[in-house]
Amino acid sequence: MVAPPDNNVLWARALHVSHNGSPALTGVSVEVREGEILAVGGPRGCGKTTLLQCLSGQLVPQQGEVWFNSTPVHTMGPLVRERLRRDRFGWIDPEPALVPELTAWENVALPLMLRKVPNRPARKAASEWLERLDIGACARKRPHALLQAERQRVAIARALVTEPTVLFADEPTAPLHRADRAQVLRTLTTAARSHGITVVLATHDAEVATLADRTVQLLDGRRVNSLRMPGPSSGLLAAPAAAATPAGPSAEGTACSLSV
């Protein structure tokens, strides 16, 4: 086992995962540099979620290695991986899973309270993140009183409030309208950049990927290319290349879920 280069916050090598015998990742390698916004693109079912689950320590690959800041994640026990996810990573799902009984600010403050941050600073941090995501006015509302785009912003604020080292966003704007999608994504990436948070963003939407620094493309569980974007403000996405990289055999395994 050889440690990866120092400038990668995450580094995965030759990942093989199969779900109930059918291959989801076959020999995928990827590196994520500190502070970058990396999009993982590709059509539905190509393995984007599975890759994010492996990188975030939710899922242990049947073969291959995952390293976080020069520490092997694939050899960690479940409790250590859980602590790593809680302390260093944030996660955003396609559908915002908020606690219905709590107000927006309480939902956002929840991860801080779970870390025993006292009420007043937790509330202050939650309010600041809601402001940053342009939903300060919704702080006292409960999820049912919010629009879908507002709920997703609350979920994003909750994922960012702990200022994680890496934020994993799995199709974070999938259920939103086109206009909301662009705005929510722009707010997310701006907030992450200004706080030096590395983002790994799964999307099948080429437009969404234009906000990333780089795109890694998957197809049928294999990596097919890597694009460096012209810049977050260019609004342009280069056409995906189609040169396939070598892939290996598949393995077996199961997924598990991640809490905030």
Nearest alpha-carbon partner for 208 in 68, 94, 110: 94
Give the nearest distance from C-beta 158 to ligand ATP in angstroms. 21
Site size toward ligand ATP (CB under 6 A) is 14
Residue with smaller CB distance to ligand ATP, 96 or 143: 96
State which of residues 9, 24, 122, 201 lies at the interface with ligand ATP (CB under 6 A): 24
Q: Is 205 in the site for ligand ATP (CB under 6 A)?
A: no
State which of residues 48, 123, 158, 181 lies at the interface with ligand ATP (CB under 6 A): 48
State which of residues 44, 116, 120, 144 lies at the interface with ligand ATP (CB under 6 A): 44
Q: Which helix or strand (DSSP H or E) is residue 65 part of?
A: strand 63-68
Region from 46-54, 148-156, 224-232, 239-247 binding ligand ATP, contact rule CB under 6 A: 46-54
State which of residues 49, 162, 198, 250 lies at the interface with ligand ATP (CB under 6 A): 49
Through-space distance between the first and last CA atoms of the chain, rounded to whole angstroms: 31
Residues 29/14, Cβ–Cβ less than 8 Å? yes
Residues 28/55, Cβ–Cβ less than 8 Å? no
d(CA 38, CA 10): 11
Radius of gyration of the chain (CA): 18
Interface contacts to ligand ATP, rule CB under 6 A: 19-20, 24, 42, 44-50, 202, 204, 255
